[in-house]
Amino acid sequence: VVLTQSPGTLSLSPGERATLSCRASQSVSSSYLAWYQQKPGQAPRLLMYGASIRATGIPDRFSGSGSGTDFTLTISRLEPEDFAVYFCQQSGSSSYTFGQGTKLEIK
């Protein structure tokens, strides 16, 4: 399964709303769709799993949605610490793949 994330780069200001897309080449179970945040020099951190369930400690400005082949990560009001790279990831049929990432940068 190929995951395609868009846009590649998103330039926004703090306080704005961010919408990140993850599209799968074939249907993915929502239970097996996760999102990660990665900051420079750090390992990725789990944000969402089951497409819409926030991981422990993740603030409620982060939300996830979608099903089938189209999934979305939304950050309602950007905080300075949210500017990072975001990856979606799927597990299914003994295959595991990541999207190529969306870089969220400060405008």
Partner 1 sequence: QVHLQESGPGLVKPSQTLSLTCTVSGGSISSGGYYWTWIRQHPGKGLEWIGNIFYSGSTYYNPSLQSRVTISVDTSKNQFSLKLSSVTAADTAVYYCARYHSGSWAFLDYWGQGTLVTVSS
Cα-trace Rg, the chain: 13
Q: Which of 71, 73, 99, 104 binds partner 1 (CB under 8 A)?
A: 99
The two three-digit tokens of residue 3, written as one number = 């995951």
- Using CB under 8 A as the binding rule, whether residue 103 contacts partner 1 is answered as no
* Residue 20 buriedness (CB in 10 A; 0-12 / 13-18 / 19+): buried
With CB under 8 A as the contact rule, the residue among 1, 45, 61, 69 that binds partner 1 is: 45
CB of 46 to partner 1, least distance (A): 5
Q: Which is nearer to partner 1, 6 or 97 (CB)?
A: 97
- Residue (of 68, 79, 70) closest to 104 by Cα position: 79
Distance CA 28, CA 24 (A): 7
Count of residues binding partner 1 (CB under 8 A)? 23
User: Using the rule CB under 8 A, is 93 a contact of partner 1?
Assistant: no
To partner 1, the closest distance from the beta carbon of 77 in angstroms equals 25
Instruction: Give the separation between CA 61 and CA 23, rounded to whole angstroms.
Output: 22
> Which residues contact partner 1 by CB under 8 A?
31-32, 34, 36, 42-46, 49-50, 53, 55, 87, 89, 91, 94, 96-101
